[in-house]
């Protein structure tokens, strides 16, 4: 029996070896596939977690930017308000109206009947540019007996027509300045915080990778040397603390550069805005009746002159948002940074951050984003002005003669468009300028800022900035 079994095994020995080899190979292959499957699962889970972490950080970054924008906006509004005191001009007009009423009552009591020529009435408002541009500064010169000249400069009270002209220009200039300044503040804050957010994210990823690598080395050492104490291996080193402190200091210095726009840049911009407003609105009488389409066209002309001050070449906001190189130390000094430390920082990491920021500001994408932000803010304003216009009757909206035809537009068809006086529109935009500058809070932005931060082009630009990883520079740093 035993010999029979032995003989059988000997005869089929090769088959048994092949079968055993196949089974072993199959087992190893299945085990390899299982390990690869679990490894792939872990990799996908890690990638999903990383993407979710990146998305969460990005969204939080945009919320932080909106909070910062609303925190900075009131101080900017105060400066604009001081430069363009529209309310003061309005008070002067009201004072003239009160003075006129009192004077009319006084003269009527004395029996004087013709007083209309002594006061400025609405018909006295300027009708052309010649009447509008009256000289406000005068000089009285007289000589004494010794032939010496004495000059006395004085600024006489402005007439009602002049006050209306000044009110018109300052109201519109203030509104456009606030819209452009808000748009640039939204853009620049998003740009700065996304650059820093990306920088911090990369630093956290590198730190996590280093920590995992050190943990693996520590576990390997612990297995080889069981008696070794590793309870303090996860405590950050002194060098790491110093590096994090330096990075935080550089970040604060970088954010300090928003001081330039909030204190200097917007002022330069307002001069360009004033020039554009005067060029478009100077000859328009405050008593003029404007349709909504006419007003929109005038606003579009002002925006075009600001966006393209040299014809077809788009506006470059770099000097508005960032100081020239020779004034960078001056900006840092406003935050009480020492000159020696500021100079050292401006040649290191801070220099790289500023150069990258300048590159983004001068990019075509940035110009398009800023244009969209301004357009969005002006759209909200025009929509609120549109409420002032009466709704036209559809049946009376298009007047067509009985002999006319649909293709005849040479006077046979007339589109009825409601009109509102420019003076009433000025009152509306004055209220809106106040709502834009003072409305809302850091936790609840006003509708103008909310509309701007919701512009799709801004989110796309922010995503580009946040995902602009320069791994080669990181390798060099390491």
Q: Which of 95-104, 174-183, 233-242, 464-473 shows the lowest per-residue confidence on average (mean pLDDT)?
A: 233-242
Q: Which of 62-76, 82-96, 128-142, 171-185 shows the lowest per-residue confidence on average (mean pLDDT)?
A: 128-142
Distance CA 368, CA 16 (A): 76
pLDDT given at position 141: 37
Nearest-Å Rg of the Cα atoms of the chain is 36
If DSSP states are collapsed to H, E and C, what string results for the chain?
CHHHHHHHHHHCHHHHHHHHHHHHHHHHHHHHHHHHHHHHHHHHHHHHHHHHHHHHHHHHHHHHHHHHHHHHHHHHHHHHHHHCCHHHHHHHHHHHHHHHHHHHHHHHHCCCCCCHHHCCCHHHCCCCHHHHCCCCCEEEEEECCCCCEEEEEECCCCCHHHHHHHHHHHHHHHHHHHHHHHHHHHHHHHHHHHHHHHHHHHHHHHHHHHHHHHHHHHHHHHHHCCCCCCCCCCCCCHHHHHHHHHHHHHHHHHHCCHHHHHHHHHHHHHHHHHHHHHHHHCCCCCCCEEEHHHHHHHHHHHHHHHHCCCCCCCCCCHHHHCCCHHHHHHHHHCCCCCHHHHHHHCCCHHHHHHHHHHHHHCCHHHHHHHHHHHHHHHHHHHHHHHCCCCCCCHHHHEEECCCCCCCCCCCCEEECCCEEEHHHHHHHHHHHHHHHHHCECCCCECHHHHHHHCCHHHHHHHHHHHCCCCHHHHHHHC
Q: Is the Cβ–Cβ distance between 178 and 437 less than 8 Å?
A: yes
Q: Which of 193-202, 304-313, 339-348, 403-412 shows the lowest per-residue confidence on average (mean pLDDT)?
A: 403-412
147: left (phi over 0), alpha (psi -120 to 50) or beta: left
Q: Which residue has the tokens 């330039």?
A: 260
User: Between residues 314 and 187, which one has the greater pLDDT?
Assistant: 187
pLDDT given at position 404: 37
| Sequence-ordered list of residues with C-beta below 8 angstroms from that of 232, at least 6 positions apart, any chain | none
What's the chain's average pLDDT? 78
Q: Which of 41-45, 53-57, 180-184, 237-241 shows the lowest per-residue confidence on average (mean pLDDT)?
A: 237-241
Asked if pLDDT for residue 444 goes beyond 90, the answer is no
Asked if pLDDT for residue 455 goes beyond 60, the answer is yes
pLDDT given at position 206: 80
Over residues 222-243, mean pLDDT: 54
**C-alpha count within 13 angstroms, C-beta hemisphere, residue 142:** 4
Asked if pLDDT for residue 36 goes beyond 50, the answer is yes
Asked if pLDDT for residue 140 goes beyond 90, the answer is no
pLDDT given at position 292: 93
Q: Is the Cβ–Cβ distance between 322 and 361 less than 8 Å?
A: yes
User: Between residues 330 and 19, which one has the greater pLDDT?
Assistant: 330
User: Between residues 254 and 473, which one has the greater pLDDT?
Assistant: 254
Task: Identify any residues that bridge with 141 across adjacent strands, giving them in sequence order.
Answer: 151
pLDDT given at position 94: 85
pLDDT given at position 96: 79
Per-domain residue ranges of the chain: 73-100+160-216+243-391+417-473
Asked if pLDDT for residue 151 goes beyond 70, the answer is no
Asked if pLDDT for residue 109 goes beyond 50, the answer is no
Over residues 14-20, mean pLDDT: 77
Asked if pLDDT for residue 269 goes beyond 90, the answer is yes
Structure confidence by residue, pLDDT tens digits, 339-377: 666 677 777 889 999 999 999 999 999 999 999 999 999
Asked if pLDDT for residue 39 goes beyond 50, the answer is yes
**Position 410 confidence tier, pLDDT thresholds 50, 70, 90:** very low
The CB-based long-range contact list for 44-49 (8 Å cut-off, 24+ gap) reads: none
Q: Which of 108-112, 190-194, 241-245 shows the lowest per-residue confidence on average (mean pLDDT)?
A: 108-112
Over residues 98-106, mean pLDDT: 61
Q: Is the Cβ–Cβ distance between 331 and 255 less than 8 Å?
A: no
| Sequence-ordered list of residues with C-beta below 8 angstroms from that of 343, at least 6 positions apart, any chain | 329
Residue 125: Cβ within 10 Å count: 22
pLDDT given at position 358: 96
pLDDT given at position 398: 35
**Position 137 confidence tier, pLDDT thresholds 50, 70, 90:** very low
Asked if pLDDT for residue 320 goes beyond 70, the answer is yes
Q: Which of 339, 271, 265 is nearest to 76 (CA)?
A: 265
The values of phi and psi at residue 26, to 5°, are -60, -40
pLDDT given at position 161: 87
pLDDT given at position 235: 53
Structure confidence by residue, pLDDT tens digits, 164-173: 999 999 999 9
Q: Which of 433, 353, 329 is nearest to 385 (CA)?
A: 433
pLDDT given at position 215: 59
Asked if pLDDT for residue 439 goes beyond 90, the answer is no
Question: The whole model's pTM is what?
Answer: 0.75
């Amino acid at each position: 029996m035993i010999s029979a079994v032995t003989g059988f095994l000997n005869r089929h020995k090769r088959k048994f070896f092949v079968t055993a080899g196949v089974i072993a190979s199959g087992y190893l292959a299945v085990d390899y596939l299982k390990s690869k499957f679990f490894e792939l699962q872990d990799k996908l889970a890690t990638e999903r977690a990383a993407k979710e972490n990146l998305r969460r950080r990005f969204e939080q970054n945009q919320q932080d930017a909106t909070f910062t924008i609303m925190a900075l906006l009131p101080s900017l509004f105060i400066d604009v308000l001081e430069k363009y005191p529209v309310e003061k001009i309005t008070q002067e007009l009201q004072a003239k109206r009160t003075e006129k009423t009192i004077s009319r009552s006084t003269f009527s009591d004395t029996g004087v009947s013709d007083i209309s020529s002594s006061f400025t009435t609405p018909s006295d408002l300027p009708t052309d540019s010649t009447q509008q541009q009256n000289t406000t500064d005068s000089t009285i010169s007289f000589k004494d007996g010794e032939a010496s000249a004495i000059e006395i400069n004085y600024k006489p009270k402005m007439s009602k027509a002049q006050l209306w002209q000044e009110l018109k220009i300052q109201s519109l200039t203030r509104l456009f300045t606030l819209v452009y300044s808000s748009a640039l503040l939204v853009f620049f804050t998003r740009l700065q915080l996304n650059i820093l957010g990306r920088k911090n994210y990369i630093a956290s990823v590198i730190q996590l990778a280093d920590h995992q690598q050190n943990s693996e080395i520590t576990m390997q050492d612990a297995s080889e040397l069981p008696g070794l104490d590793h309870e303090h291996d996860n405590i950050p080193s002194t060098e790491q603390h110093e590096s994090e402190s330096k990075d935080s200091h550089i970040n604060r210095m970088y954010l300090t550069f928003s001081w330039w726009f909030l204190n200097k840049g917007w002022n330069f911009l307002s001069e360009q805005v004033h020039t554009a407003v005067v060029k478009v609105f100077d000859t328009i009488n405050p008593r003029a009746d404007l349709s909504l389409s006419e007003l929109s066209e005038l606003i579009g002309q002002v925006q075009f002159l600001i966006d393209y001050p040299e014809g077809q070449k788009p506006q470059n906001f770099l000097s508005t948002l960032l100081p020239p190189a020779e004034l960078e130390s001056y900006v840092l000094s406003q935050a009480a940074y020492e000159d020696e430390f500021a100079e050292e920082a401006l040649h290191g990491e801070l220099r790289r951050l500023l150069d990258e920021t300048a590159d983004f500001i001068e990019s075509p994408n940035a110009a398009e984003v800023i244009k969209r932000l301004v357009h969005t803010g002006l759209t909200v304003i025009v929509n609120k002005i549109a409420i002032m216009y009466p709704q036209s009757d559809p049946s009376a909206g298009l007047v067509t003669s009985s002999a006319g035809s649909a293709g005849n537009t040479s006077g046979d068809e007339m589109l009825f468009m409601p009109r509102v006086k420019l003076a009433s529109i000025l009152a509306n935009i004055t209220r809106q300028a106040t709502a834009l500058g003072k409305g809302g809070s850091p936790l609840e932005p006003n509708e103008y800022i909310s509309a701007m931060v919701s512009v799709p082009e801004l989110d796309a630009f922010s995503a580009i900035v946040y995902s602009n990883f320069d791994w080669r520079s990181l390798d060099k740093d390491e």
